[in-house]
Structure 1
């Protein structure tokens, strides 16, 4: 059973599991989320990180939602958002997995 996360959450499609502890309590937890390979994401554009950039502002600009920073993390194989904010590095800004780009996107 999937918990009630918003559709835009990285956890929206992740199911729960239960664990019975030694003292008889039931613990409900989210199953592990596996990040698909970045090659599965249709590229929208690139973004070169400049002084003062913040990932929430970058995703607000390109994706229309600052809380979608996790999509940029996934597309760039980053575990931690701050790892992406290296001045001069190029970020892949992509569509979510399974959403096709137009033509040569």
Structure 2
């Protein structure tokens, strides 16, 4: 239903029957994970001109994983993270299991 890089990919779906008999499938609500429960890879210090998508590309190898950095830093508004000098947690996603770090794109991790 969602791309592999989507934060909604692993959410369970539900079905609702409408009064006219049709059914609608939807994704259940997503809650932000607790950052302390995520596997920390490293920290990134924001510099002038940094944007979350660029940080995600540099740190995780995919700009579309900016949501993962937002989750790791408990941010609902990603713009609040691109503040010069702020230390951002770079983590694995909440759905990553044991050994998931070895599946990351080689060279995408700096450190």
What residue number does 1:66 align with?
A: 63
Report the number of matched residues.
99
1:28 to 20, 25, 38: 25
Structure 2 unaligned regions, length at least 5: 103-111
Write the distance in 2 (CA, Å) between the matches of 1:72 and 1:95: 9
Contact 1:41 1:99 in 2 (8 A): no
1:19 to 16, 19, 22: 16
Contact 1:41 1:75 in 2 (8 A): yes
State the SS of the aligned residue for 2:83. coil
Distance 1:28 1:72, change over 3 A: same
1:37 paired with 2:34, answer yes
RMSD between aligned alpha carbons?
A: 2.1
1:47 paired with 2:25, answer no
Write the distance in 2 (CA, Å) between the matches of 1:88 and 1:38: 20
Write the distance in 1 (CA, Å) between the matches of 2:19 and 2:77: 34
Write the distance in 1 (CA, Å) between the matches of 2:86 and 2:93: 21
Shift of 1:56: 0.5
Shift of 1:77: 0.2
Please report the TM-score for the alignment, with normalisation by the length of structure 1: 0.79
